Structure 1
Amino acid sequence: MSTRREHDFLGTREIPAEAYYGIHTLRAAENFRVSRHQVHPEIIKALAVVKEAAARANLDLGYLPRDKGEAIIAACREVARGELADQFFLDAFQGGAGTSTNMNVNEVIANRALEIMGLPKGDYATIHPNDHVNLHQSTNDVYPTAMRIAAIRLLLPLAEEMARLQEALQEKEATFAGILKIGRTEFQDAVPVTLGQEFGAYAQAVARDRWRLYKVEERLRQVNLGGTATGTGLNAPLKYIYLVNDYLRRLTGLGLARAENMIDGTQNMDVFVEVSGLIKAAAVTMHKIAGDLRFLSAGPKGGPAEINLPPRQAGSSIMPGKVNPVIPEMVNQVAMQVMANDMLIAMAAGQGHLELNPFAPLIAHALLESLEMLAAAARIFREECIDGITANAGRCREMLEQSPVLVTALLPYLGYDRASEVVREAEAHGRPVKEILLAKGFFTPEELDGILTPAAMTKPGIIKPVNRRQEEPEARK
């Protein structure tokens, strides 16, 4: 294999002649072989857009010759489209606050630009990764800026998937509106609800998450591009600082703006903690819904079995016919990973010291993973589970009629003590509450049918059956 020689502050190394990466990428690849996780491709694409904005600003201001500037811009656009992806293989867990990833991008763009100009890779006297591609930049302003762009690009699809999930749950709310069932508090029988009301509550919780995620995107729009190493803007001309941010806004189509305090934007990463917290809130909502669906579908003979989840795969290697709730279980696991990532982000953001946070790569990896995973989980949850749920109306009715909770609707007529006696007798003799009430003459069949309806039992107020006589039950015996 033919090679080329490149040198840096530490010495000289052999690089594969056809490689677009250079010596800084090689050293980073050797230093950070710790996981199977590579730098997220959205970070690479976002960095390429930042580099293009910088090249355009430098070209306009005369800091780059036109031929070099146009070659760099062309290379940036290729990388931003996801091309040359095999040249970006660094481990996501890396020291240096993102310097290794920034240099990886600088080297690939420089060598691709040289190739576009018809020159050999490694001809850094013509186009240099630092002097030309990284001109008027520092890792400390381009990397946090790329983090924000990548996060926004993944945040919006998540908000859209949450909106679709909300709509799917609302459809089930309407479909199941007339199915009366036992409510449960602390896993014990409680006053009735409709199955539709349960799904309506899920939809409302998801709606809050959808709105929060949509709004929090605004918090990511303030970038520190132009702040260079510590946010002071050293070595970045003032005209460049304004122009590069204008170009970045145009290239991304996002409402980005230069941070009023670029030192703050360089050293503090609390905005990512805030965004992660709202992603975690959405994960918690999905976690809760998935857990509820697993419980409500448990059975088919040994559990509530009030709903049927669409079967997706055989559930056992030894028990024929067993089908597990694999989609909700996947959602539970993704949600737990998002919660764990949120803790990582908080810890990493809190470990930033003075003018820079060296753990930006960890924050980027955890945040983008959470955004991408939760959006995928929400889509699969909707398509492979929620859309296909059906109700076991007969099972819902059977369990409700066997439960003593029905007597709660009759408290205004019986009083707490008499109602308690009815419950004790029903449980002692294994008889339905309705049977005990009719046997004691507390109500007529017509009166009970008027009270124990889905519409009457699942809305505020005291149920007043038609033609109900006002005398005390004892007087009616």
Structure 2
Amino acid sequence: MDSQRTEHDLIGDRLVPEDVYYGIHTLRARDNFPLTGIPLSAHPELVEALAAVKAAAAAAHRDLGVLTSEQADAVIRACQEIREGRLHDQFVVDVFQGGAGTSSNMNANEVIANRALELLGRERGAYGHLHPNDDVNRSQSTNDAFPTAVKLALHAAAGRLLDGMSELAGAFTERGGTFAKTVKLGRTQLQDAVPMTLGQEFDTFALTVRDDAEVITMASGVLLEVNLGGTAIGTGLNAEAGFAQAVIPHLAAITGLPVRPARDLIEATQGMGGFLQLSSALKQYAVRLAKICNDLRLLCSGPRAGLGEIRLPALQAGSSIMPGKVNPVIPEAVNQVCFEVIGVDASVCAAAQAGQLQLNAFEPLIVHLLLNSMNRLDAASRLLAERCVQGIEANEQHLRELVEGSASLATALNPVIGYQRATELAQESLDTGLSVRELARRRGLLPEEELEARLDPWTLAHPR
């Protein structure tokens, strides 16, 4: 039988395997919440953020003289190891848990304490020398330490997502430049509209992604206002004098972020505004990215019986029964990520409104869902850029034919022949199959030179 150590808590004694860094609180939480099978370690951003909070607290307590330099340095070194990727396998509590994140906070406290004890030359569980609650969690409550870590984790994930969005926007811009002289028909209500260029269409996609990146940037910036130092409900009960003022500069130095104290610690402890803003921003991007993917699927539909205006890279056989079929698999996959993110926003809203009085107990759900959303949107953005957009080709000849044969070109003659006569011309074009250009020429509506100028597709796509 593996060696074990005995630890004690409010409920009683419990044997803890000697080879683990977590303790009795983590062990009970692991047993109490077998809900998703997804451990806290599945979110390395959150694990590393918890370690950053604990390191900042230890540094502040060293400054205040309430932890010895030896104790504080051991805690800080343990936290640094975690932030470098070590001991993540010791963060074993389920991502869904009761207690407003207490289990996650205690998991961090125990792992850090036991690793710090090792660094001090002590055995794991020798809490008389360094205690998870009294020392690692000193001047903190779950209710300020965990939300602070949550915000730092979400901000980190947002940064990676923004990099992925930049890659996607860049891919659309590059294709927009390639297609800058490729004239095509615009469409409204899926009906032929006036000409534009394929480059304009792709430049629009790029701007959509960049605009949404700005919204996410603003939302993630809100997360840098934290309630660390507020302890249980924001009043700062049991925090060392001067802790709130001392800890924030250390947290900023450790993370390299302009972290700032909340304007009102009580409001910040119960308020979910920053999470709601971020969730809304992610939903906006998901909705608009899904629309872009729908457009790509529509533009490449066919290749004979659909629009067939562009060709997506052929990545795999599209059917187990129909030979030669190739599907738009990347936009389809990205669409599914977008649909999930849209649904996540509803769950985040439900969790945010379910908070009561001075605390919201459902932040574990919020951080899990939002981290998933950002990581998947990041992966989806990069996938769409690299496996789809960068390899898109235009069906140039088909696009020219569609423009030249469209009855919508009669729109360009409105200013000189009037809406009614232009309507008659468009209808005749649809009835006879003759082009607007040919019918106008036969009727002698305009001199040849003016007719050619007014019906020039490039000019129509750039009327200004």
Q: TM-score, normalised by structure 2?
A: 0.95
2:9 is equivalent to residue 8 of structure 1: yes
The Cα shift of 1:264 comes to 0.9
The Cα shift of 1:119 comes to 2.0
1:122 to 97, 114, 125: 125
The Cα shift of 1:358 comes to 0.2
The Cα shift of 1:116 comes to 1.8
Aligned partners of 1:6 and 1:15 also within 8 Å: yes
2:302 to 299, 304, 307: 299
Question: Secondary structure, in 3 states, of the residue corresponding to 2:22?
Answer: coil
The Cα shift of 1:211 comes to 2.1
2:432 is equivalent to residue 439 of structure 1: no
Aligned partners of 2:143 and 2:232 also within 8 Å: yes
Amino acid at match of 1:31: N
The Cα shift of 1:267 comes to 0.9
Amino acid at match of 1:367: L
The Cα shift of 1:400 comes to 2.1
2:292 is equivalent to residue 289 of structure 1: yes
Pairs aligned (count): 461
Q: Which residues of 2 match residues 87-236 of structure 1 at below 5 A?
A: 87-236=90-239
What CA distance in whole angstroms lies between the structure 1 residues aligned with 2:321 and 2:54? Answer: 56
The Cα shift of 1:268 comes to 0.7
User: What runs of 5+ residues in structure 2 fail to find an aligned partner?
Assistant: none
Aligned partners of 2:437 and 2:455 also within 8 Å: no
Q: What's 1:30 paired with?
A: 31
2:430 is equivalent to residue 459 of structure 1: no
Q: Which moved more, 1:19-28 or 1:422-431?
A: 422-431
Question: Secondary structure, in 3 states, of the residue corresponding to 1:299?
Answer: coil
What CA distance in whole angstroms lies between the structure 1 residues aligned with 2:243 and 2:428? Answer: 84
Q: What's 1:406 paired with?
A: 409
What CA distance in whole angstroms lies between the structure 2 residues aligned with 1:233 and 1:23? Answer: 27
The Cα shift of 1:104 comes to 0.6
2:257 is equivalent to residue 272 of structure 1: no
Question: Secondary structure, in 3 states, of the residue corresponding to 1:238?
Answer: coil
2:257 is equivalent to residue 254 of structure 1: yes
1:367 to 365, 370, 381: 370
Q: What's 2:431 paired with?
A: 428
Q: What's 2:322 paired with?
A: 319
Aligned partners of 1:43 and 1:150 also within 8 Å: yes
The Cα shift of 1:105 comes to 0.6
Aligned partners of 1:173 and 1:198 also within 8 Å: yes
Q: What's 1:337 paired with?
A: 340
The Cα shift of 1:386 comes to 1.3
The Cα shift of 1:251 comes to 0.6
Deviations 1:302-351 (A, max 9, x none): 11111111122222222222211111112211111121122211221111
Deviations 1:201-222 (A, max 9, x none): 2122222112222233331121
Amino acid at match of 1:305: G
Aligned partners of 1:160 and 1:210 also within 8 Å: no
Q: What's 1:61 paired with?
A: 64
What CA distance in whole angstroms lies between the structure 2 residues aligned with 1:315 and 1:186? Answer: 29
Question: Secondary structure, in 3 states, of the residue corresponding to 1:15?
Answer: strand
Deviations 1:170-190 (A, max 9, x none): 222222121111111111111
2:50 is equivalent to residue 52 of structure 1: no
2:432 is equivalent to residue 419 of structure 1: no
Aligned partners of 2:219 and 2:274 also within 8 Å: no
Deviations 1:276-314 (A, max 9, x none): 211222222211111101100111111111111112222
Aligned partners of 2:50 and 2:145 also within 8 Å: yes
The Cα shift of 1:458 comes to 1.7
Q: Which moved more, 1:33-42 or 1:11-20?
A: 33-42
Aligned partners of 1:191 and 1:406 also within 8 Å: yes
The Cα shift of 1:166 comes to 2.1
The Cα shift of 1:443 comes to 4.2
What CA distance in whole angstroms lies between the structure 1 residues aligned with 2:458 and 2:426? Answer: 23
Q: Which residues of 2 match residues 370-385 of structure 1 at below 5 A?
A: 370-385=373-388
The Cα shift of 1:160 comes to 2.7
What CA distance in whole angstroms lies between the structure 2 residues aligned with 1:264 and 1:368? Answer: 23
Deviations 1:102-139 (A, max 9, x none): 00111111111122222221112222211111111110
What CA distance in whole angstroms lies between the structure 1 residues aligned with 2:228 and 2:68? Answer: 22
Q: Which moved more, 1:246-255 or 1:112-121?
A: 112-121
What CA distance in whole angstroms lies between the structure 1 residues aligned with 2:325 and 2:121? Answer: 63
What CA distance in whole angstroms lies between the structure 2 residues aligned with 1:238 and 1:125? Answer: 24
The Cα shift of 1:37 comes to 3.1
What CA distance in whole angstroms lies between the structure 1 residues aligned with 2:109 and 2:151? Answer: 19
2:361 to 358, 363, 374: 358
Work out the percentage of aligned pairs sharing the same amino acid: 49
Q: Which residues of 2 match residues 236-251 of structure 1 at below 5 A?
A: 236-251=239-254
Aligned partners of 1:183 and 1:193 also within 8 Å: yes
Q: 1:36 to 1:448 in 2, by over 3 A?
A: farther
Deviations 1:24-57 (A, max 9, x none): 1111111111114333221111010100111111
Question: Secondary structure, in 3 states, of the residue corresponding to 2:53?
Answer: helix
Amino acid at match of 1:289: I
Question: Secondary structure, in 3 states, of the residue corresponding to 2:314?
Answer: coil
Aligned partners of 1:53 and 1:251 also within 8 Å: yes
Q: What's 1:17 paired with?
A: 18
Amino acid at match of 1:275: L
What CA distance in whole angstroms lies between the structure 1 residues aligned with 2:119 and 2:283? Answer: 44
User: What runs of 5+ residues in structure 1 fail to find an aligned partner?
Assistant: 462-477
What CA distance in whole angstroms lies between the structure 1 residues aligned with 2:93 and 2:444? Answer: 79
What CA distance in whole angstroms lies between the structure 2 residues aligned with 1:182 and 1:453? Answer: 13
Amino acid at match of 1:37: I
Deviations 1:404-436 (A, max 9, x none): 111111122332222222233232233333333
Amino acid at match of 1:14: L
Q: Which moved more, 1:442-451 or 1:86-95?
A: 442-451
Aligned Cα root-mean-square deviation (Å): 1.7
Aligned partners of 1:24 and 1:104 also within 8 Å: yes
